[in-house]
Structure 1
Amino acid sequence: MSKTVTVILCGGKINFLNLPIKSNTSNSMIPVNGKPVISWILEDLIEKGFNQAVLVHRSDDIHLKQFLTRTFCTKMKLDLLELNESPSILHSLKAGLEHSNLEGAVQVILGDTLIRDSFDIEGEYVYTHTVEDSTRWCIAESDSNGVIVNYHDKTENPGVPFEALCGYYKLNHSGDFYNLILKGIIDGKNQLSDVLKSYGSKYIVKSLPANYWYDFGNIENLLSAKRQLLQSRYFNSLFIHPVLNTITKESEFDDKLRNELKWYEDLPSELSVLSPRIIKKNEKEGRLVFTQEYYGYPTLSELFLYSDLSQEAWHGIVKKLMEIVTEFGKYSTQINNETLLEIYLNKTFERLNILFEGDQKWKELFDKETLLINGIVYKGFQRLIPQINQYAKKMIVNARLGILHGDLCFSNILFDINSQIVKLIDPRGSFGQVGIFGDQRYDMAKLRHSIHGLYDYIVSDLFEVSIDGNEIKCNIFSNEVPTAVTIDFDKQLEANGFNPDEIQFIEGLLFISMLPLHKDKPSRQQVMFAQGIVFLNEIIEKYENCN
Structure 2
Amino acid sequence: MTVRLIMSGALVGQELAAEFGPLPPAFLPVGVQRLYELQMQALEGAGPVHLVLPETFAVPEHDAVRLAALGAEIVPAPEGLSLGEAVVYALNTIGAGDEPVHLLHGDTLIAAPPLHAHDVIVAGPRSTEYAWAEMETAPDGRVLALVNTPAGEDGHEGRPIAAGYFAFASGLDLLRALARRRGDFIAAINHYLADRPVRAAEADDWLDFGHLTTFFQSRMAVTTARAFNTVRIDGLTARKSSADTAKMRAEAHWLQAAPPAVQIYCARLLGFGLEQGRAFYDTEYEFLPVLSELFVYGAVGRKPWLRILASCEDLLRTLAATRGDICGDQALRTLAADKTLVRLEAFARDGETRITEPLSYEGRPCPSLLQIAERLVGAMDLTSGRIGCAMHGDLCFSNLLYDSRNRRIKAIDPRGSVDRTPSLWGDLRYDLAKLGHSIVGRYDQIVAGRCSLARHGSDYALAFAPVSCQPWLAEALKDLEVDGVGGLSQAVRAVSVSLFLSMLPLHADRPDRQQAFIANALRLWRELDA
Q: Normalising to structure 2: TM-score of the pair?
A: 0.89
What is the DSSP-based 3-state SS (H/G/I as helix, E as strand, rest coil) of the residue aligned with 2:99? coil
Distance 1:468 1:283, change over 3 A: same
Distance 1:159 1:289, change over 3 A: same
State the partner residue of 1:545.
Answer: none
Q: After superposing the two structures, state which structure 1 stretch, 394-403 or 288-297, moved more.
A: 394-403
The 5-angstrom pairing of residues 112-261 of structure 1 reads: 112-131=107-126, 136-154=131-149, 159-181=156-178, 183-184=179-180, 187-190=181-184, 192-233=185-226, 234-236=228-230, 238-240=232-234, 242=235, 245-261=236-252
Distance 1:106 1:255, change over 3 A: farther
Q: How far 1:167 moved relative to its partner?
A: 0.7
State the partner residue of 2:415.
Answer: 428
State the partner residue of 1:463.
Answer: 451
8 Å contact kept, 1:8–1:53: yes
What is the DSSP-based 3-state SS (H/G/I as helix, E as strand, rest coil) of the residue aligned with 1:57? strand
8 Å contact kept, 1:6–1:54: yes
State the partner residue of 2:493.
Answer: 504
Q: How far 1:207 moved relative to its partner?
A: 0.8
8 Å contact kept, 2:359–2:459: no
The 5-angstrom pairing of residues 110-509 of structure 1 reads: 110-131=105-126, 136-154=131-149, 159-181=156-178, 183-184=179-180, 187-190=181-184, 192-233=185-226, 234-236=228-230, 238-240=232-234, 242=235, 245-332=236-323, 333-335=325-327, 340-360=332-352, 362-363=353-354, 366-373=355-362, 376-382=364-370, 384=372, 387-392=375-380, 394-397=381-384, 399=386, 401-434=388-421, 435-493=423-481, 496-498=484-486, 500-509=489-498
Q: How far 1:247 moved relative to its partner?
A: 2.7
Q: How far 1:136 moved relative to its partner?
A: 2.2
8 Å contact kept, 1:449–1:455: yes
The C-alpha deviation readout for 1:434-466, integer Å capped at 9, x for no partner, is: 211111111111100100111111111212224
Task: Write the letter of the residue equivalent to 2:435.
Answer: L
Q: Among 45, 49, 53, which residue is 2:49 paired with?
A: 53
8 Å contact kept, 1:33–1:229: yes
The C-alpha deviation readout for 1:449-497, integer Å capped at 9, x for no partner, is: 1001111111112122242312334322132321121011111148953
Q: How far 1:127 moved relative to its partner?
A: 0.7
Q: Normalising to structure 1: TM-score of the pair?
A: 0.86
Task: Write the letter of the residue equivalent to 1:422.
Answer: I
Task: Write the letter of the residue equivalent to 2:517.
Answer: M
Identity, % of aligned positions: 21
Whole-angstrom CA distance in 2 between matches of 1:352 and 1:174: 60
Structure 2 unmatched ranges of 5 or more: none
Distance 1:193 1:336, change over 3 A: closer
Whole-angstrom CA distance in 1 between matches of 2:254 and 2:438: 22
8 Å contact kept, 2:122–2:203: yes
The C-alpha deviation readout for 1:127-179, integer Å capped at 9, x for no partner, is: 11123889822122222332222222337898521121111112233344334
Whole-angstrom CA distance in 1 between matches of 2:329 and 2:483: 25
Task: Write the letter of the residue equivalent to 2:402.
Answer: F
State the partner residue of 1:96.
Answer: 90
State the partner residue of 2:9.
Answer: 11
Task: Write the letter of the residue equivalent to 2:165.
Answer: Y
Q: After superposing the two structures, state which structure 1 stretch, 380-389 or 406-415, moved more.
A: 380-389
Whole-angstrom CA distance in 2 between matches of 1:86 and 1:142: 32
Task: Write the letter of the residue equivalent to 1:193.
Answer: I
8 Å contact kept, 1:134–1:162: no
Q: Among 66, 81, 86, which residue is 1:87 paired with?
A: 81
Deviating above 6 A after TM superposition, structure 1's stretches of 4 or more consecutive aligned residues are 132-135, 155-158
Whole-angstrom CA distance in 2 between matches of 1:488 and 1:481: 11
Whole-angstrom CA distance in 2 between matches of 1:461 and 1:490: 26
Task: Write the letter of the residue equivalent to 2:334.
Answer: E
What is the DSSP-based 3-state SS (H/G/I as helix, E as strand, rest coil) of the residue aligned with 2:336? helix
Distance 1:85 1:385, change over 3 A: closer
Distance 1:315 1:74, change over 3 A: same
What is the DSSP-based 3-state SS (H/G/I as helix, E as strand, rest coil) of the residue aligned with 1:162? coil
Whole-angstrom CA distance in 1 between matches of 2:373 and 2:517: 18
8 Å contact kept, 2:102–2:168: yes
Q: After superposing the two structures, state which structure 1 stretch, 36-45 or 287-296, moved more.
A: 36-45
Distance 1:501 1:402, change over 3 A: same
Distance 1:134 1:153, change over 3 A: farther
What is the DSSP-based 3-state SS (H/G/I as helix, E as strand, rest coil) of the residue aligned with 1:467? strand
Equivalent pairs, count:
522
